[in-house]
């Protein structure tokens, strides 16, 4: 897989990750104590201690950087450390368990750690493709930037508002037959909403799309004068543009949600993991 | 009509009010959304043409024109008198006022602040932050849940348990049964399954974990293992680390298996890599690992001292097994392993028989030592103790010289007295045939009577002589002498008697190392014991240190067989004092009480 994402580019941390994993594997297979390979041997303590240190260090890095997408040099290195050390944790922590799992707070610690790492991998995956798609999605919809300090998204939001004003204004020149579709579009066009509709990003049942069809129907039925015809065709054009914009904004919302949904697993479970890790260590050393 | 329209606008979020007056003319004034209306209300709720205002009979009347209608005090009306009523159209309120400034009528239009623009509804929930609980909150919820469920709950359970007293306790009988079973959350604290050896206290957490957040104490272990012996003689070698060591630092529980695993390699080397540092008088060699500097084996060999009666008295001596210096011990046997194991087999009563190690040797139950070779069971299958004279076979007893002598003498005396012996060297009375015996009478008496006293003396003398000759063959050459060293030695009465040296077999050469044969079953016996090459029974067919090291490569070697100290050596040495004299004392006191109490009843 070709990863465009800059934060994976650091060779240094890649090699440190590989080094830690290899060293862990060598130590694990080299030491074969009578009670079997598990967390309570010299190597087991070593792997456990190392894993705990990495967990704490990565949590601290996570607090420090907060945002992932930035690509300034130093920060990119920090993210790279986070990713490759996190992946090495899969090896060190799994070997620390000795692959003995049962109903216990010790196994819970491992399970939480794996959830955190897997959600992190999920995060890397979305970051490696989505930002590009997201950028293209909005930039392709831009017709004209009114101000340079506005983002593409802000511009599109402005566009929708402007169209809404135009739609309302158009009604002052058009008979009541056009009022229901315009009202529908103005009042019922939803972008976002609940978790499901944000994540689906679907434009099925979009109010403006319906309104667009209704406006065209009304337009076909009447016998309109010159001035009205001009206004109707403007109305149709605005509706069509608003329909496109709404769909684009919904897609944008979906991309944004996908880009951050993993954090709702990664972050709170990391905190829970730190708590569980402390319980695990306390139990092991004070409750032999 | 000339209408003075007063427009009053209230701005949203402020008290500021703007007021504007306009003159409108026409017989009818139109109100609606359309820009073509005289009064244009730019509101989507207002009809294209919503209402008209006109003067009728000196009154200012408003009439509904569109579908929306007009409202007075919330009720729909077709028409309203603005002089008395206040009419609502959307967010606009209309009422009349007395005419002034030359106008026919005055109408006041108050515009309420516009409701929230519909576009605002669209904003809001487009981001996950708006629809999901905050990550900070989730972190709190998860963490507190885990603290409650996995720390608080089990800790509560642990606190409920009664902590035993901290002075030495010795448990009588089996484990406590009145303790509550560990709850599901208490089990969540355990780091692994308990070993089978401790399965009876599996449910009694407090048996070992006596007080919350205290490591398991020796006191807990000694409650059952009261008499466990110490490692060293602490009176002679006061070693602080022995007195302060925890049982659990070597014996690791919660690893499943048959018994707690003993982890001692590092603990052993702590002292034994420089034993003089903890025990200056110790004569033990220092050791850092099995494959590095383990001293050569010292074997307990049987050496002998000849006694006054010619017998060999065994004396066990520990002899260092130096490489290339074969070990010899005295066994009192003549047993060539090589002849017995030769290809093609050995002669046996059943024809040629191929022997192997297992024909005579087997591992004893327990898996450690070998069963000692037993004459009747192992040797006698081929080496039958039969004495064959005049076509009659008799089996002689093993390891009973006097009985053998008696049987032989009896046999020859009987033969001599019976007569008819065909041997050429026999005297005439022995060769002579006797009368047939008389039925119902004692045979010997009958025949004895038949011989003269002189002849009888000759016959018995011959029989005794013949028995001695036979004994020389049997003891010295044919039967006993095949395997044993045997010699004639005068007894107390000065009579020479055959004495056979019993086999002096060492059951265990390596007394300090608990070698077990069982784990080595998969190997060929001959890969350690060079029996097929051994010609003498004096050869000690033990492998040397290097032979063991070819598989047992040291405690840090992953590929090798186990080579921790405890693989071969015991930590708790049988002959030592108990680790905890207090516990042992209580234990023995209890034991003697138990022995006495049934008598009292």
The pLDDT score that the predictor gives to residue A2 is 38
Assess if residue A279 is contained within a domain. Answer: yes
The nearest CA of chain B is from the CA of A81 a distance in Å of: 23
**What does the pLDDT look like over A30-40, one tens digit per residue?**
887 766 788 77
CA angle A24, A29, A30 (to 5 degrees): 95
Are both A14 and A105 inside the same structural domain?
yes
E strand map for chain A: none
CB contact under 8 A, B146 and A276: yes
Instruction: Between B391 and B289, name the one with better pLDDT.
Output: B289
Residue of B nearest to A32 (CA): B558
Give the pLDDT of residue A187.
87
CB atoms within 10 A of CB B73: 9
Q: Report the Cα–Cα distance between both ends of chain B, in Å, rounded.
A: 134
Q: Are residues A71 and A77 in contact, defined by beta-carbon separation less than 8 angstroms?
A: no
Query: Do the domain assignments include residue A137?
Result: no
Domain membership of residue A159 (yes or no) is: yes
* Mean pLDDT calculated for residue range B467-475: 88
Output B444 or B534, whichever has higher pLDDT: B534
**pLDDT per position as a tens digit, B312-322:** 888 888 888 88
pLDDT tens for each residue of B282-327: 888 899 888 888 988 999 998 888 887 778 888 888 888 887 788 8
Q: Is the pLDDT of residue A116 over 90?
A: yes
Give tens-digit pLDDT for B158-169. 887 777 777 788
pLDDT digits (tens, 9 = 90+) for B13-52: 777 888 899 999 888 999 999 988 999 988 888 899 999 9
pLDDT of B81 higher than 80:
yes
- In terms of pLDDT, which residue wins out, B161 or B333? B333
Residues A238 and A279 in one domain: no
Band of pLDDT at residue B442, cut at 50, 70 and 90: low
Q: Mean pLDDT over residues B210-226, rounded?
A: 85
Both A246 and A271 in one domain: the answer is: no
pLDDT digits over B526-582, tens only?
999 989 999 988 889 888 888 898 888 877 676 778 888 888 888 888 888 888 888
Q: Is the pLDDT of residue B443 over 70?
A: no
**Residues in B touching A167 (Cβ below 8 Å):** none
Over 70: is that where the pLDDT of B589 sits? Answer: yes
Q: Taking the domains of chain B in order of start, what are their residue ranges?
A: 2-121, 145-261+571-601, 300-373+504-543, 386-500
Please report the pLDDT score of residue A256 as a whole number: 92
pLDDT above 80 (res A10): no
Determine the Cα–Cα distance for residues B486 and B399; give it in Å rounded to an integer. Answer: 12
User: What residues in A contact B188, CB-CB < 8 Å?
Assistant: 103-105, 108
Does the residue A145 lie in any domain? no
Task: Output the six-digit token pair for B2.
Answer: 């000339």
Which of A173, A186, A194 is facing B34, going by the closest CB pair?
Answer: A173
ipTM of the complex: 0.88
CB-nearest partner of B125 from A32, A172, A192: A192
Regarding whether A173 and A101 lie in a shared domain, the answer is no
Position A211 scores a pLDDT of 94
Give the torsion through C-alpha atoms of B24, B27, B28, B34, to 10 deg.
-60
Query: Between chains, do B44 and A186 touch, taking CB under 8 Å as contact?
Result: yes
Distance from the B257 Cα atom to the nearest Cα atom in chain A, whole angstroms: 9
List the domain range (segments joined by +) for residue A190: 152-254
Shared domain check, A226 and A203: yes
Segments in A171-262 forming alpha helices (H)? 179-188, 195-200, 207-221, 226-261
**Residue A59: pLDDT over 60:** yes
Residues of chain B contacting residue A207, judged by C-beta atoms under 8 Å apart: none
Q: Which of B147, B248, B261 sits opposite A288 (nearest CB)?
A: B248
**Closest chain A residue to B556, measured at CA:** A31
Interface contact B44-A271, CB threshold 8 A: no
On average, the pLDDT of chain A sits at 88
Residue A214 in this model has a pLDDT that exceeds 90: yes
Cβ distance A34 to B263 less than 8 Å, yes or no, reads yes
Q: For residue A139, is it within any domain?
A: no
**CB-based contacts of A31, cutoff 8 Å, min separation 6:** A37, A41, A42, A43, B556, B558
How many CB pairs below 8 Å do chains A and B form together?
157
What pLDDT is stored for residue A1 in this prediction? 32
Residue B408: pLDDT above 50? yes
pLDDT tens per residue across span B353-388: 999 999 999 999 988 888 988 888 899 888 888 887
Long-range residue pairs from B529-536, CB within 8 A, at least 24 positions apart, any chain: B529/B357, B531/B337, B531/B338, B531/B341, B531/B357, B532/B337, B532/B338, B532/B341, B532/B342, B533/B338, B534/B336, B534/B337, B534/B338, B535/B336, B535/B337, B535/B338, B536/B336
Nearest CA to CA, how far is A155 from chain B (Å)? 14
Dist CA A220 CA A213 (whole Å): 11
In this prediction, residue A4 has a pLDDT band, given cuts at 50, 70 and 90, of very low
Give the global pTM.
0.70
Token pair for B41: 């209300």
Q: Cβ of A176 and B67 within 8 Å?
A: yes
Which residues in chain B are closer than 8 Å to A28, comparing Cβ atoms? Answer: none
CB B243 within 8 A of CB B179: no
- Interchain pair A194, B66: CB under 8 A: no
Task: Render B315-368 in DSSP notation, one character per residue.
Answer: EEEEEE--TT---B---SB---HHHHT-TT-EEETTEEE---HHHH--BPTTSS
Closest chain A residue to B264 measured between Cα atoms?
Answer: A34
CB contact under 8 A, B192 and A102: yes
Is residue A63 packed enough to be buried (19+ CB in 10 Å), middle (13-18) or exposed (0-12)?
A: exposed
Gap from A201 CA to chain B (nearest CA, Å): 10
Give the residue-averaged pLDDT of A134-148.
88
Tell whether A141 is covered by a domain. no
User: What pLDDT, on a 0 to 100 scale, did the predictor assign at position A3?
Assistant: 43
Q: Could you tell me if A186 and A74 lie in one domain?
A: no
The answer to whether domain B2-121 has CATH 3.40.190.290 is no
Give chain B positions within 8 Å (CB) of A249.
Answer: 126
pLDDT of residue B538: 87
CB-CB neighbors (< 8 A) of B262 in chain A: 34
- C-alpha distance from A11 to closest chain B C-alpha (Å): 32
Percent of the residues in chain B that have a pLDDT greater than 70, as a whole number: 93
Report chain B residues whose CB lies below 8 A from the CB of A29.
Answer: 558
Q: Which of A29, A34, A130, A246 to mutate to test the interface with B (most CBs of B within 10 A)?
A: A34
Residues of B with CB below 8 A from A272's CB? 139, 142-143, 145-146
Residue A185 resides in a domain: yes
One domain, residues A11 and A109? yes
Residue of chain B whose alpha carbon sits nearest to that of A176: B48
Q: Which of A154-163, A169-178, B440-449 has the lowest mean pLDDT?
A: B440-449
Q: Report yes or no: B502 and B527 within 8 Å, Cβ to Cβ.
A: no
Sign of the CA dihedral B508, B514, B517, B518? positive
CA distance B274 to B286: 5
Rounded to the nearest angstrom, the minimum Cα separation between A153 and chain B is 12
Burial of A127 (0-12, 13-18, 19+ CB in 10 A): buried
Average pLDDT over all residues of chain B: 84
For residue B387, what are the β-bridge partners?
A: B394
B138/A276 CB distance under 8 A: no
Indicate yes or no: CB of B255 within 8 angstroms of CB of A40: yes
Q: Is residue A86 situated within a structural domain?
A: yes
Distance CA A253, CA A251 (A): 5
Contact A40/B119, CB-based, under 8 Å?
Answer: no
A179 lies in the same domain as A208: yes
Residue of chain B with shortest Cα separation from A157: B123
In DSSP terms, which residues pair with B89 in a beta bridge? Answer: B92
Instruction: Annotate A69-107 with b (16+ C-beta within 10 A) or e (fewer).
Output: eeeeeebbebbbbbbbbbbbbbbbbbbbbbebeeebbbb
Per-residue pLDDT tens digits for B231-280: 888 777 777 777 778 888 888 888 888 888 877 656 788 888 888 888 88
> Of A256-270, B110-124, B488-502, which range is least confident?
B110-124
Cβ distance A203 to A209 under 8 Å?
yes
Contacts of B556 in chain A (CB under 8 A): 31
Contacts of A189 in chain B (CB under 8 A): 122
Chain B positions in Cβ-Cβ contact with residue A169 (cut-off 8 Å): 42
My answer on whether A164 and A49 are in the same domain is no
Predicted local distance difference test score (pLDDT) of residue A238: 94
Shortest Cα distance, chain B CAs vs residue A20, angstroms: 20
**CB-CB contact of B483 with B491 (8 Å):** no
What is the pLDDT, as a whole number, of residue A56? 95
Give the mean model confidence (pLDDT) for residues B503-519: 86
Which of B139, B151, B261 is opposite residue A271, by nearest beta carbon? B139
Contact list in B for residue A33 (CB cut-off 8 A) is 263
């Amino acid at each position: 897989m070709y990863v465009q994402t800059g934060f994976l580019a650091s060779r240094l941390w890649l090699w440190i990750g590989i080094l830690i994993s290899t060293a862990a594997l060598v130590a694990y297979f080299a030491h074969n104590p009578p009670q079997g390979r598990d967390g309570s041997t010299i190597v087991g303590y070593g792997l456990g201690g190392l894993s705990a240190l990495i967990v704490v260090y990565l949590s601290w890095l996570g607090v420090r950087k907060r945002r992932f997408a930035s690509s300034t040099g130093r920060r990119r290195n920090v993210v790279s450390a986070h990713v490759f050390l996190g992946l090495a944790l899969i090896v060190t922590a799994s070997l620390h368990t000795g692959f003995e799992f049962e109903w216990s707070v010790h196994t819970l610690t491992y399970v939480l750690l794996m959830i955190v790492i897997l959600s992190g991998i999920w995060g890397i995956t979305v970051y490696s493709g989505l930002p590009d798609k997201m950028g293209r999605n909005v930039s392709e919809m831009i017709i004209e930037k009114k101000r340079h300090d506005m983002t593409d998204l802000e511009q599109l939001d402005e566009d929708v508002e402007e169209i809404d004003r135009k739609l309302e204004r158009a009604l002052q020149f058009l008979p009541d037959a056009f009022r229901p579709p315009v009202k529908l579009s103005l009042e019922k066009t939803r972008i976002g909403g609940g978790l499901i509709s944000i994540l689906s990003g679907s434009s099925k049942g979009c109010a403006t799309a319906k309104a667009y069809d209704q406006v065209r129907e009304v337009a076909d039925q009447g016998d309109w004068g010159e001035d009205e015809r001009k206004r109707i065709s403007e109305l149709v054009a605005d509706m069509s543009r608003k329909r496109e914009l709404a769909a684009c904004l919904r897609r944008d919302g979906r991309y944004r949600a996908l880009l951050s949904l993993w954090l709702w697993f990664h972050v709170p479970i990391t905190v829970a993991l730190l708590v569980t890790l402390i319980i695990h260590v306390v139990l092991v050393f004070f409750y032999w | 009509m000339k209408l003075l329209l007063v427009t009053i606008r209230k701005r949203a979020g402020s008290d500021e009010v703007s007021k504007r007056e306009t003159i409108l003319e026409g017989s009818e004034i139109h109100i609606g959304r359309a820009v073509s209306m005289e009064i244009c209300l730019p509101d989507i709720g207002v009809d294209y043409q919503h209402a008209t205002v006109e003067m009728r009979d000196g009154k200012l009347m408003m009439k509904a024109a569109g579908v929306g209608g007009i409202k007075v005090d919330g009720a729909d009306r077709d028409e309203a008198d603005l002089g008395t009523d206040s009419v609502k159209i959307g967010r606009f309120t209309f009422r009349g006022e007395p005419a002034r400034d030359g106008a026919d009528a005055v109408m006041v239009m108050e515009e309420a602040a516009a409701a929230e623009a519909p576009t605002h509804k669209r904003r809001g929930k487009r981001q996950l932050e708006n629809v999901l609980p905050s990550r900070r909150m989730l972190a709190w919820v998860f963490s507190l849940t885990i603290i409650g469920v996995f720390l608080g709950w089990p800790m509560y359970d642990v606190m409920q348990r009664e902590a035993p007293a901290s002075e030495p306790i010795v448990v009588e009988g089996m484990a406590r049964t009145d303790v509550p079973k560990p709850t599901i959350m208490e089990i969540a604290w355990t780091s692994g399954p308990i070993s089978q050896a401790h399965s009876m206290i599996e449910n009694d957490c407090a048996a070992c974990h006596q007080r919350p957040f205290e490591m398991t104490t020796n006191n807990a272990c000694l409650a059952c293992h009261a008499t466990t012996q110490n490692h060293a003689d602490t009176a002679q070698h006061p070693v602080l680390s022995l007195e302060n060591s925890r049982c659990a630092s070597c014996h690791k529980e919660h690893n499943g298996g048959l018994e707690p695993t003993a982890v001692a390699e590092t603990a052993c080397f702590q002292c034994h890599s420089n034993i003089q540092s903890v025990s200056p008088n110790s004569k033990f060699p220092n050791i850092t690992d099995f494959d590095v500097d383990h001293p050569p084996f010292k074997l307990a060999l049987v050496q002998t001292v000849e006694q006054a009666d010619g017998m060999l008295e065994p004396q066990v001596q520990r002899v260092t097994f130096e490489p290339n210096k074969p070990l010899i011990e005295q066994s009192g046997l003549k047993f060539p392993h090589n002849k017995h194991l030769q290809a093609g087999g050995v002669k046996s009563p059943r024809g040629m028989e191929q022997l192997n190690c297992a024909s005579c040797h087997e591992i004893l139950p327990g898996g450690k030592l070998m069963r000692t070779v037993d004459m009747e069971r192992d040797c006698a299958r081929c080496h039958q103790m039969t004495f064959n004279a005049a076509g009659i076979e008799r089996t002689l007893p093993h390891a009973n010289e006097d009985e053998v002598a008696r049987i032989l003498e009896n046999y020859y005396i009987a033969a001599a007295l019976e007569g008819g012996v065909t041997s050429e060297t026999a005297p005439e009375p022995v060769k002579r045939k006797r009368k047939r015996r008389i039925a119902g009478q004692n045979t010997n008496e009958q025949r004895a009577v038949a011989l003269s006293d002189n002849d009888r003396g000759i016959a018995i003398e011959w029989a005794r002589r013949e028995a001695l000759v036979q004994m020389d063959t049997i003891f010295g050459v044919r039967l006993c002498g095949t395997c044993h060293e045997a010699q004639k030695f005068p007894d107390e009465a000065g009579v020479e008697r055959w004495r056979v040296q019993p086999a002096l077999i060492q059951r265990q050469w390596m007394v300090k190392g608990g070698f077990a044969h069982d784990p080595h079953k998969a190997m060929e016996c001959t890969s350690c014991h060079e029996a097929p090459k051994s010609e003498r029974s004096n050869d000690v067919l033990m492998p040397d240190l290097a032979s063991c090291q070819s598989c047992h490569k040291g405690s840090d070697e992953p590929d090798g067989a186990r080579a921790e100290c405890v693989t071969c050596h015991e930590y708790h040495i049988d002959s030592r004092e108990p680790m905890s004299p207090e516990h042992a004392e209580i234990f023995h006191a209890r034991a003697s009480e138990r022995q006495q109490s049934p008598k009292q009843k």
